[in-house]
Amino acid sequence: MNAPFEGIGASVRRKEDLRFISGRGHYVDDMNRPGQLHAVMKRSDRPHAKILSIDTSAALAAPGVVAVYTGTDTAALGSIPCGWQIHNKDGSPMAEPRHPMLAEGKVRHVGDILAVVIAATKQQAKDAAELLHIDLEELPAIANVADAIAPGAPVLHDAAPGNVCYDWHIGDKAGVDAAFAAAHRVITLDLTNNRLVPNAMEPRAAIGDYDSSTGDYTLYTTSQNPHVIRLLMGAFVLGLPEHKLRVVAPDVGGGFGSKIYHYAEEAIVTWSAGKLGRAIKWTADRSESFMSDAHGRDHVSTAKMAIDKDGKFLALHVDTLCNMGAYLSTFATAVPTYLYATLLAGTYTTPVIYAEVKAVFTNTVPVDAYRGAGRPEAAFLIERLVDVVAYDTGMDRVDIRRKNFIPRDAFPYQTPVALQYDSGDYFATLEAAQKTADWAGFPARRAASAAQGKLRGIGISTYLEACGIAPSKVVGSLGARAGLYEVANIRVHPTGSVTVFTGTHSHGQGHETTMAQLVVDQLGIPLANVDVVHGDTAKIPFGMGTYGSRSLAVGGSAMVKAMDKIILKGRKIAAHLLEADVGDIEFKDGKFSVAGTDRSKSFGEIALTAYVPHNYPIEELEPGLDETAFYDPKNFTFPGGCHICEVEIDPATGIPTIVNFVAVDDVGRVVNPMIVEGQVQGGIAQGIGQALYEHAAYDAHGQLISGSFMDYTMPRADNLPNITVATENTMCTHNPLGSKGCGEVGAIGSPPAVIGAIVDALKDYGVRHLNMPASPEKIWSIIQAGRPAMAAE
């Protein structure tokens, strides 16, 4: 009987799913520590106010209450740090106001933490929180970016005059100006990228624990990167050395970026645990998630494309205002700069680009990376602008794309905005998607819909993104305050089974399966003999975590390097046992053999020999078979592809229905096609959510209007079409796997295709662009404006 195919390319079932679907996952809120207390955060319901006084006496006297802390108690502690320093156009560093764990002097957004109440039960803590006497003096507040930079706007931070965090730019301004002056035509598009609430299924939670006998702290937290939290919280906020602080991120129920960041609540429970000598647990209510998880997107941009008379792109100018919220979250500053403006070439040969980005503070929840992180904003801007160029010139949307695509033979391709693409074939993904979506047959389907009184449209996006963040030297030169390598420890046990300790973190992606398949492929052992461990700083040597679709491209590459070391050592052991020269030992299909002979040793025999070194080259080799590798990527990876969306609109109500969605992506080497399909589908679901449904709406004065699922429209299963996912892959040329990343392509590629389809459906109504979300009322209003005399139906 042949062994089942479980290596790279096999759609094996996810190893982790049995525990998830049978209720045996182990999440932070499932944990309880001996003597544990419960923390409740007293949050501001005012967007901007001076704290005149907080009287804690009644709360402290309430049943079960152990402690109440306010910003006065934590004022000597560090600021929650920002991990990336951006510089202004003039070279000066960005404004970086203090981000206290508990509000000091002022609250700056609804959800800002005024006090923490710690009691024996959560119920008691909640009761006591209502007894806090808080005297606030309300201040004028701002929620949107235009208001933030208006003259006379209320200022959030003394350290950020005019509410500006930074005023940054990239590219060749003079070159763009010259190209614009000489161009046949310049086409302008104003657009927004709507603000989103991440809404992971599992709300954030944290337990701080302290052992007074050893001085050891442990933080159990819902994190995508426990080592990063240990570094940020330990070194910058609480002053705890790494060897005294363990951070555990067990099963985590979705992150989408929102669980990358170091949050105030983590520092509060850890610090309080030390103060009180007791474990302290906090779990967010869903309402707290809405007002405290970092939000995503929130850009307002003007994009201008200069073209020649044939529709060839000559120059691109982009001006973006982006919302940082009230404080700088961990990666907030990098998202609208190096993860956005560097992507503005997209899949096109636009020879000269200039972008300026102004980041501003507002009285809203901090904004940071959300699935795609800057690249969805870039893709939406470029792909919508390309559609508008086609619309304004009367050219075909696909022709203009093909005319401007980076040619197949132009890789590696240096863009005018710093990045160098290693590989890609945008014609291949476009043609495959058009074929699968029956692009050519669309006019007939449109006519059939029209006969039923419906408006039908088709939209296309030929996007590109960047994953696998990132070469440490490069990001360091751009302001990152950390390296962005990844770490793998491969522990071969004496009988040849393997435990992988990875610095990445799986919170739904299926790493426990995908990464095990890498071991199957490289070491030739069965999947059942491999376990993948992540999420505990006490077990994993180090790691930068999971975001930016980096886990396979960077974390997987670290595994390959560590396994290379395992195989090299195994060959030395095999050479000794087989009395052959190391140079003659081959390793294939789990066997070390002498080239050209039938003499071999299995992987298991070599492992056993390494741990029971009775017959062993002990003078030259240490016993054991356990290797660690740090892998620092040489470049970003560049997934891309083509998404095609077809919608049908009910003109009487404006309700759009997606009737077909096709995605053909280039994600490089695919390890598990089933998992890739699921990742792409999930990303597309979120992209459709952004395009049609989701919007974190603030009123002009900073009140979050869509603060619950009663008003925040999460896409539901019946909002989504069947999604056809395929890949047309070119290999990444600079990592050992050839993989590029697949976690975000869906969320990046899909929104422009959806909006393009709606605009196409409405093309008889004189509309060239529509901002997200394309709600039924927005669509209906366009139809009404185009046909003012139309009756109700």
Partner 1 sequence: MYDFAYHKPSSVADAVALLGDSEAKALAGGQTFIPVLKQRLNKPSAVVDLAGLGLSGITVTATTVTIGASTTHVTVANSAEVKKAIPGLANLASWIGDVAVRYRGTIGGSLANNDPAACYPSAALALGATIKTNTREIAADDFFQGMFTTALEPGEIILSASFPIPEMSAYEKFRNPASRYAMVGVFVAKTASGVRVAVTGASQGGVFRHTAFETALSANFSASALDGIATPADGLNSDIHGSAAYRAHLVGVMAKRAVAAAA
Decide if residue 792 touches partner 1 (CB under 8 A): yes
713 lies in the binding site for partner 1 (CB under 8 A): yes
Cα atoms in the Cβ-side hemisphere of radius 13 Å centred on 778:
15
Shortest distance, position 711 Cβ to partner 1, whole Å = 5
Which of 695, 736, 737, 762 forms a contact with partner 1 (CB under 8 A)?
695
Q: Which of 495, 781, 785, 787 binds partner 1 (CB under 8 A)?
A: 781
Residue 712 touching partner 1 (CB under 8 A): yes
> Which segments within 313-430 are labelled E, that is strand?
313-325, 353-361, 413-414, 420-421
246 binds partner 1 (CB under 8 A): no
Smaller CB separation from partner 1, 201 or 440: 201
In the set 21, 714, 763, 764, which binds partner 1 (CB under 8 A)?
714
Nearest distance from residue 23's CB to partner 1, in Å? 18
Per the structure block, which two tokens stand in for 756? 């393009």
Three-state SS at 336: coil
User: Among 79, 88, 287, 349, which residue sits at the site for partner 1 (rule: CB under 8 A)?
Assistant: 287
92 lies in the site for partner 1, by CB under 8 A: no
Contact residue for partner 1 among 89, 211, 653, 700 (CB under 8 A): 653
Of 393 and 771, the one with the shorter C-beta distance to partner 1 is 771
Which residues in the 43-82 window bind partner 1 by CB under 8 A? none
In degrees to the nearest 10, what's the CA dihedral of 67, 131, 266, 679?
Answer: 150
How far apart are alpha carbons 292 and 263 in whole angstroms?
9
Question: At closest approach, how far in Å is the CB of 777 from partner 1?
Answer: 5
| Residue 568 interacting with partner 1 (CB under 8 A) | no
Residue nearer to partner 1 on the CB measure, 11 or 653: 653
Kindly state the smallest distance separating residue 683's Cβ from partner 1, in Å: 21
SS3 550: coil
Residue 81, preceding peptide bond in cis (omega within 30° of 0): no
How far apart (Å, rounded) are the C-alpha atoms in residues 556 and 669? Answer: 12
Specify the stretch interacting with partner 1 by CB under 8 A; choose among 123-131, 210-218, 494-502, 522-530. 123-131
CB of 780 to partner 1, least distance (A): 6
Q: Determine the Cα–Cα distance for residues 537 and 772; give it in Å rounded to an integer.
A: 40
Contact positions with partner 1 (CB under 8 A) in 468-487 = none
Output the smallest distance, CB 751 to partner 1, in A.
Answer: 17
Minimum distance from CB of 793 to partner 1 (Å)? 5
Whether 553 contacts 468, CB under 8 Å: yes
CB of 705 to partner 1, least distance (A): 6
Residue closer to partner 1 (CB basis): 711 or 764: 711
CB 36 → partner 1: shortest distance, Å?
21
Binding piece for partner 1, criterion CB under 8 A, among 22-30, 196-204, 604-612, 709-717:
709-717
Task: Give the integer Cα–Cα distance in Å for 98 and 82.
Answer: 10
Is residue 192 within the footprint of partner 1 (CB under 8 A)?
Answer: no
Among the candidate windows 199-207, 524-532, 565-573, 691-699, which touches partner 1 by CB under 8 A?
A: 691-699
Q: Distances from the Cα of 396 to the Cαs of 136, 191, 213, 310, 349, in angstroms?
A: 58, 22, 72, 12, 18
Residues 6 or more apart whose CB falls under 8 angstroms from that of 627 comprise 489, 490, 562, 563, 565, 566, 569
Encoding tokens for residue 317? 């100018």
For partner 1, give the closer residue by CB, 199 or 513.
199
Residues paired with residue 280 on neighbouring β-strands, in sequence order: 37, 208
Residue among 679, 693, 691, 664 nearest 751 (CA): 691
Q: Which residue's CB is nearer to partner 1, number 130 or number 308?
A: 130
Please select the residue that binds partner 1; options are 697, 720, 726, 731, rule is CB under 8 A. 697
Q: Does residue 777 touch partner 1 according to CB under 8 A?
A: yes
Quickly count: other Cβ atoms within 10 Å of residue 691's Cβ.
30
Measure Cα distances from 236 to 100, 220, 233, 432 in Å. Answer: 12, 18, 6, 50
Instruction: Give the integer Cα–Cα distance in Å for 135 and 131.
Output: 12
Contact between 709 and partner 1 (CB under 8 A)?
yes
Angle at which helix 557-577 crosses helix 603-611, to 10 degrees, equals 80
Asked whether position 121 contacts partner 1 by CB under 8 A, the answer is no
Nearer to partner 1, 11 or 781 (CB): 781
Beta-bridged to residue 206, according to DSSP, are 221, 282
Residue 319: burial class (beta carbons within 10 Å; 0-12, 13-18, 19+): middle
436 binds partner 1 (CB under 8 A): no
When the beta carbons of 125 and 386 are compared against partner 1, the nearer one is 125
Region of 237 on the Ramachandran plot (φ > 0 left; ψ -120 to 50 alpha; else beta): alpha
CB of 651 to partner 1, least distance (A): 10
What residues between 328 and 347 interact with partner 1 by CB under 8 A?
none
Is residue 791 near partner 1 by the rule CB under 8 A? yes
Q: 40 or 516, CB closer to partner 1?
A: 40
Our finding on whether 27 is near partner 1 (CB under 8 A) is no
Could you say whether residue 395 binds partner 1 (CB under 8 A)? Answer: no
Element (H, E) at 502: strand 498-502
What is the spatial distance between Cα 488 and Cα 507, in angstroms, rounded to a whole number?
A: 18
Which of 711, 763, 764, 785 is close enough to bind partner 1 by CB under 8 A?
711
Distance, in Å, from the CA atom of 544 to the CA atom of 631, rounded to the nearest integer, reads 11
For 755, the token pair is 């909006």
Q: Which is nearer to partner 1, 129 or 267 (CB)?
A: 129
- Helix then strand count (H, E) for the chain reads 20, 28
Q: How many residues bind partner 1 (CB under 8 A)?
A: 26
Site string for partner 1, 611-650 (x = CB under 8 A): ----------------------------------------
**Using the rule CB under 8 A, is 652 a contact of partner 1?**
yes
Q: Which stretch binds partner 1 (CB under 8 A): 159-167, 264-272, 318-326, 710-718?
A: 710-718
- Single out the residue of 706, 724, 733, 771 in contact with partner 1 (rule: CB under 8 A): 706
Neighbouring CB atoms inside 10 A of 568's CB total 13
**734 vs 757: CA distance, rounded Å:** 36
How would you list the strands of the sheet with 106-107, edge to edge? 106-107, 49-55, 133-138
The residue among 156 and 704 lying less far from partner 1, judged by its C-beta, is 704
Note if the bond before 470 is cis, omega within 30 degrees: yes
**Which has the closest alpha carbon to 442: 405, 401, 397?**
397
Q: Is 789 in the site for partner 1 (CB under 8 A)?
A: no
Does residue 710 interact with partner 1 by CB under 8 A? yes
Please report, as residue ranges, which positions from 301 to 330 form the binding site for partner 1 (by CB under 8 A): none
- Determine the interface stretch with partner 1 among 33-41, 194-202, 324-332, 773-781 (rule: CB under 8 A): 773-781
Give the interface segment with partner 1, choosing from 456-464, 528-536, 599-607, 771-779 (CB under 8 A). 771-779
Least spacing, CB of residue 791 vs partner 1, in Å: 5
Single residue of 126, 445, 634, 769 touching partner 1 by CB under 8 A: 126
Question: DSSP letters of 605-617?
Answer: HHHHHHHSTTSS-
Contact indicator for 36, 207 with CB cutoff of 8 Å: yes
Which residues in this chain contact partner 1 in the complex, by CB under 8 A? 123, 126-127, 287, 652-653, 693, 695, 697, 705-706, 709-714, 775-777, 780-781, 784, 791-793
